[in-house]
């Protein structure tokens, strides 16, 4: 007599069969709806929806407000408004949201575009492009290319092939790893045509001097920085723009803006009266 085989563990993105609503090829909802679980090849919603358990859809077009109590599994998601996912989210293709995303677990997508606020309690992994216009908060981010126009708060690591960030507010990362890093502050209109001293003064007068990134460590190959305070920077080539503080570094500095402080002297400002 042989022992019965133990059941295989459930894989990520696979819903349990029990308690599910019958699958529908195409589901169209208007107004306020509620489901225990949802399974559909395509789901179009104009209104508010609350799903107590898991949602497994092929293509989802969502407008207004959606709350998913379990996991979200999809091939493609287009959402406008508020999307809350309390379980893991796995999207094999493109995820696009205009509005607010709140996730309580890990998030994985082929590509992801956020316009507004994206707040994650779990790690974020995007295979190709992660584009953010607004703000992203996450404990950890791993992506192919990361493009940010706004602000970001990353609790631990941000790992990418390319980070291209134009900052509109204070930002922080514990450890940044990327082959190519380009970080700048959002320009004041008409700033590109101003002489450098006037551009710097205008930015301060209009409050743009508050935008910048604080990061404990950066590891890269080609790094260009503006308005960044970094504890340790290691890169093959380094270009230092305005208003940077680099406490320690390893690499070749190609250019350094006179307003930036590089090396041990940048750790604390010199006493009053000791500079000219």
Task: Write the pLDDT tens digit of every residue in 69-108.
Answer: 999 999 999 999 999 999 999 999 999 999 999 999 999 9
Contact 82, 100 (CB under 8 A): yes
Q: Looking at the domain assignment, is residue 206 inside a domain?
A: yes
Q: What local confidence, expressed as pLDDT, does residue 194 receive? A: 53
Q: Looking at the domain assignment, is residue 69 inside a domain?
A: no
Number of domains in the chain: 1
Q: Looking at the domain assignment, is residue 208 inside a domain?
A: yes
Q: What is the DSSP string of 174-197?
A: EEEEEEEEEEEEPPPTTGGGS-HH
Q: Which structural domain range is residue 111 located in?
A: 84-266
Q: Looking at the domain assignment, is residue 76 inside a domain?
A: no
Q: Looking at the domain assignment, is residue 148 inside a domain?
A: yes
Task: Write the pLDDT tens digit of every residue in 113-146.
Answer: 999 999 999 999 999 999 999 999 999 999 999 9
* Coil/strand/helix, residue 216: strand
Alpha-carbon torsion (118, 218, 215, 191), positive or negative? negative
Q: Looking at the domain assignment, is residue 273 inside a domain?
A: no
Task: Write the pLDDT tens digit of every residue in 229-250.
Answer: 999 999 999 999 999 999 999 9
Whole-structure pTM over 0.75, yes or no? yes
Contact 34, 19 (CB under 8 A): no
Q: Retrieve residue 77's tokens.
A: 């998601």
Average pLDDT for 172-191:
86
Return phi, psi of residue 14, to 5°: -110, 125
State yes or no: pLDDT of 270 exceeds 70: no
pLDDT band at 1 (very low <50, low <70, confident <90, very high): very low
Q: Looking at the domain assignment, is residue 77 inside a domain?
A: no
Q: Looking at the domain assignment, is residue 136 inside a domain?
A: yes
């Amino acid at each position: 007599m042989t022992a019965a085989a133990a059941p295989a563990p459930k894989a990520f993105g696979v819903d349990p069969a029990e308690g599910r609503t019958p699958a529908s090829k195409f589901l169209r909802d208007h107004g306020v709806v509620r489901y225990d679980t949802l399974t559909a090849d395509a789901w179009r919603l104009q209104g508010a929806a609350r799903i107590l358990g898991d949602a497994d859809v092929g293509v989802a077009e969502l407008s207004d407000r959606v709350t998913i109590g379990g996991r979200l599994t999809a091939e493609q998601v287009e959402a406008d408004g508020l999307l809350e996912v309390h379980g893991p989210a796995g999207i094999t293709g493109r995820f696009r949201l205009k509005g607010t995303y709140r996730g309580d677990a890990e998030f994985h997508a082929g590509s992801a575009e956020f316009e507004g606020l994206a707040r994650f309690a779990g790690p974020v992994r995007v295979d190709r492009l992660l584009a953010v216009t607004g703000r992203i908060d996450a404990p950890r981010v791993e992506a192919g290319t990361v493009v940010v126009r706004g602000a970001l708060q990353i609790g631990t690591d941000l790992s990418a092939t390319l980070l291209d960030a134009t900052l509109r507010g204070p930002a922080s990362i514990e450890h940044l790893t990327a082959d190519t890093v380009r970080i700048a502050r959002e320009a004041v209109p008409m700033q590109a045509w101003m002489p450098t001293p006037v551009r710097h003064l205008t930015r301060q007068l209009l409050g743009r001097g508050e935008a910048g990134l604080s990061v404990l460590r950066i590891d890269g190959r080609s790094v260009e920085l503006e308005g960044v305070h970094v504890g340790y920077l290691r890169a093959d080539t380094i270009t230092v723009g305005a208003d940077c503080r680099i406490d320690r570094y390893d690499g070749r500095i190609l250019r350094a803006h006179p307003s930036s402080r590089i090396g041990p002297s940048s750790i604390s400002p010199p006493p009053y009266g000791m500079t000219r």
